[in-house]
Chain A
Amino acid sequence: MSSPAETLAFLREVRLFKDIAAPELTVVAASLRERPLKRGQVLFREGEVGEEMFVVQRGSIVISKPVTGRVEQVLARMGSGDFFGEMSLFDRSPRSATVQSDSDATLLVLDREALRRLTELSPRAAAAFFQALVQVFIERLRASGDLVAEVTRWGLEATGLDLDSR
C-alpha cells in the first residue's frame, strides 16, 4: 500500500490533477482509496451500476465490450496515470464497458463524495480538474472515431469487400 506522500507524488504526474495546487491536491489524495486488482480480475462488467472513477496507479488495465460468446473487442488499454469510469461518476448510468486487469494492478478510486468535497473546498481546483477531464474526453472522442474507422477497414479487408469499384 502506498504512503500518502507517495500517492501525492503520483497524483502530481497524473494529467487530471496536474493543474491542482498542492494544498487541494493533498485533500484529493486523502480522499482517494486504493483498490488492488489481481491479473485477470474483472473490476466491473458492462451494465453494472457504479458511481466511481478509477485512476491507474500501477499495472495494465484492459477495457472491452462484449461482441459474441466469450469474445470481446478491446476498446482501450490503460496504464499508469490513465483513468476510466468517469461517465458513471457523473450520470450514474450503468457501466458502458467491462474492465479487467491485464497484470497485477493498483487503482485509486475517486467517488462522488470526494469530488463534491473538492468542489466545495476549492472551485478553482475543481475547475482545473474538469478542464483536464474535458481535454481527455475530446481526445477519446477522436480516438473512438479512429477505432470505428479501423474496425470498418478490418471488416472490408477481411471479407475482401471492395466498395471502390461499385
Chain B
Amino acid sequence: MKETDASPTPPRRAKLELLVRHDADDGFDVRQIGSATAFVQSRPHRVPDESWELAEMPSRMAGQPSYILKNTTTDRFLLLTEPEKFLWQKMDGQTSLQEIATAYVLRYGAFDFDIIPALMRKLQRAQLLTLRPSSRLRQVLARNRRRPMVKAIESGLTALERINISSRNVQRAFTAAYRWGGFLLFTPAGVIGCLLLAVAGLVAGVKLWHAGGDIVAGFGGHALRGLIIVKLLFFLTVAAHQLVHGLALIHYRRRVREFGFTFLHGFVPTFYVDVTDIFMTSRRARVVTAVSGAGVHLVLGSAWFLVALFAPLGSFTQAFAAASGIIQWQAFLIALYPFCFIEMDGYHVLVDLLGMPTLKQEAMSWVGSLVRRGASWRMGRQEAVFALYVVVSTLSVAAFFAFNVMLIVHARS
C-alpha cells in the first residue's frame, strides 16, 4: 500500500528586492535577497565582555557540565549546555553563522539544526546578542569610500563577487563520473598507483633539478613569460582538484550540493565544490575528501616531471613540463600544508584533528590582543597552539616567497 506524505509544506522564505546603485555611473542592479541567505551570513555578536559572566555549574551527576551565563547589566541568567557554551564563545561578531555551524560539526561530529536558532533566541531575549551583517573588510572599505582608491577597490570587489557560474544540479553528473572510473581513485590499487607515480615523479624531479639551467633554456630567453603561461594553464587543473573532492563525496555516499566558479573573497578566481555534506560522516571521510583533491596536483606534477625527464634536453616541451611539474607540486604542498594563513585542505584536516575549528581566527585574535594589551608569556596549551600556528605560518609564508624569488632568479640567470 502506498503511503501518502502528510508532512506540511514548509513556509516560503521571505525575499527582499533591493536596488543597488552603481558608484561609477547612473546604472543599478536589482537583487533578490532571501532571508535565509541573510541569516547564515549574519555575524552574531555577543555583548561586550564586561557585560557578562560565565561560570561552570558544578554537578555531581555524570555527564556534560552546565554553565550559567549572566547578563551583568540586566541581571538575567541563562543556563547553557556545553555545546551552547561552545557556540556562545564563537559569537564574536566576526564569525558568520555558516562558519559557526561548520565549527560545531567539526567539534561534535553531528549537527542539531535547532540548536543555533534556539540559542540565539535565548540570547536575544536575555539581551546578550546583536547581529552584524557584513564582513569587516567590506565595513572598512565602506567607511573609507570617499578615497578614490578605496572606492575603486570596493567597486571592483563588488563586481567580481557577482561573478558566480555554478550549478546545484550536479549530483547525477558526479555519480556518473564516479561510476565510470572515478571510483578507481579510492581503491587500494588506485592509491598505490598514485603513490608509485609520485615516487617516480620525485626521482624525475631530482634529476631535472640538477640540469635546471639547460631545461629553462628551452623557454628560449622568455622564461618569465613561459612561467606565466604555465601558471594560467595550472589554473584549469584547480577544476580537477574540486572534481575529485566531489568524487570523494560520492564515494562516501554523500551529496554534492554545488559545483561552480567564483572569485573567492572577491578577488581570487577559483573553482569550488560544496562538500559540506561530508561533515555528516566520519573524520576519516573528511580527511580522505580533503587529501584526495590535493592529490590531483601530486599526480599531475609527477606526470609532468616524467614528461620533462624523457623530453629532449633544452626543448620547449621539457621546459614547459618541468615548470608545470613544479607548480603542481607546489600546489599540492600549499593545499596540504596547514600553516600558511589560508584555510585550505590541510588546514581543515589540522583543525579537525586538533578539535579547534576556528584556529586561525582565534590565533589571530589572540595575537591581536597581545599586541594591543601587551604580551603575557604565561601560556596554556591553547595559547601555545595559537603561538605555534602564527609563528610557523609566518615563517612558512616568508619561505614560500623566498623560494619563488629564488626560482625566478634561477630561471633568469
Spell out A's residues near B (CB within 8 Å): 40-42, 62, 64, 67, 69-74, 100, 102, 150-151, 153-162, 165-166
**Partner pick for A154 among B16, B22, B25, B28, CB 8 A cutoff:** B16
A71 touching B20 in the complex, CB below 8 Å, given contacts A157-B36, A161-B121: yes
Q: Which residues from chain A contact B36 at a C-beta distance below 8 Å?
A: 157
Q: Which residues from chain B contact A100 at a C-beta distance below 8 Å?
A: 19, 28
Residues 83-97 of B contacting A (Cβ, < 8 Å): none
A74 and B14 contacting across the interface, CB-CB below 8 Å: no
Q: Give Cα A69–Cα B142 distance, bound, in whole angstroms.
A: 10
Q: Which residues from chain A contact B20 at a C-beta distance below 8 Å?
A: 70-72
**Partner pick for B13 among A72, A155, A157, CB 8 A cutoff:** A157
**Partner pick for A102 among B25, B30, B125, CB 8 A cutoff:** B30
Return 6 A-B CB contacts under 8 Å, by A number: A40-B28, A72-B21, A153-B14, A157-B38, A162-B117, A162-B121
Q: Give Cα A146–Cα B26 distance, bound, in whole angstroms.
A: 30
Q: Which residues from chain B contact A62 at a C-beta distance below 8 Å?
A: 19, 30
Q: Give Cα A70–Cα B138 distance, bound, in whole angstroms.
A: 14
A73 touching B14 in the complex, CB below 8 Å, given contacts A42-B26, A102-B30, A160-B120: no
A157 touching B19 in the complex, CB below 8 Å, given contacts A40-B26, A100-B28, A166-B125: no
B42 and A159 contacting across the interface, CB-CB below 8 Å: yes
Q: Which residues from chain B contact A162 at a C-beta distance below 8 Å?
A: 117, 121
Q: Told that A100-B19, A160-B117, A165-B121 touch, could you supply 14 new A-B pairs with CB distance under 8 A? A: A40-B26, A40-B28, A42-B26, A62-B19, A69-B142, A70-B22, A72-B21, A73-B18, A73-B19, A74-B17, A150-B14, A150-B15, A153-B14, A161-B124
A151 touching B21 in the complex, CB below 8 Å, given contacts A41-B26, A159-B39: no
Spell out B's residues near A (CB within 8 Å): 13-23, 25-28, 30, 35-36, 38-39, 42, 116-117, 120-121, 124-125, 131, 142
**Partner pick for A40 among B15, B27, B42, CB 8 A cutoff:** B27
A158 touching B121 in the complex, CB below 8 Å, given contacts A42-B26, A150-B14: no
Q: Which residues from chain B contact A70 at a C-beta distance below 8 Å?
A: 20-23
List 6 A-B pairs, minimum CB-CB distance, nearest first. A157-B35, A158-B38, A154-B14, A74-B17, A70-B21, A153-B14
Among B30, B36, B116, B142, chain A packs the most CB atoms within 10 A around the CB of B30
A64 and B125 contacting across the interface, CB-CB below 8 Å: no
CB distance from B5 to the nearest CB of A (A): 25
CB distance from B35 to the nearest CB of A (A): 3
B23 and A160 contacting across the interface, CB-CB below 8 Å: no
B19 and A64 contacting across the interface, CB-CB below 8 Å: yes
**Partner pick for B35 among A40, A72, A74, A158, CB 8 A cutoff:** A158
CB distance from B199 to the nearest CB of A (A): 52
B35 and A153 contacting across the interface, CB-CB below 8 Å: yes
Q: Which residues from chain A contact B125 at a C-beta distance below 8 Å?
A: 166
A73 touching B17 in the complex, CB below 8 Å, given contacts A162-B121, A165-B121, A166-B125: yes
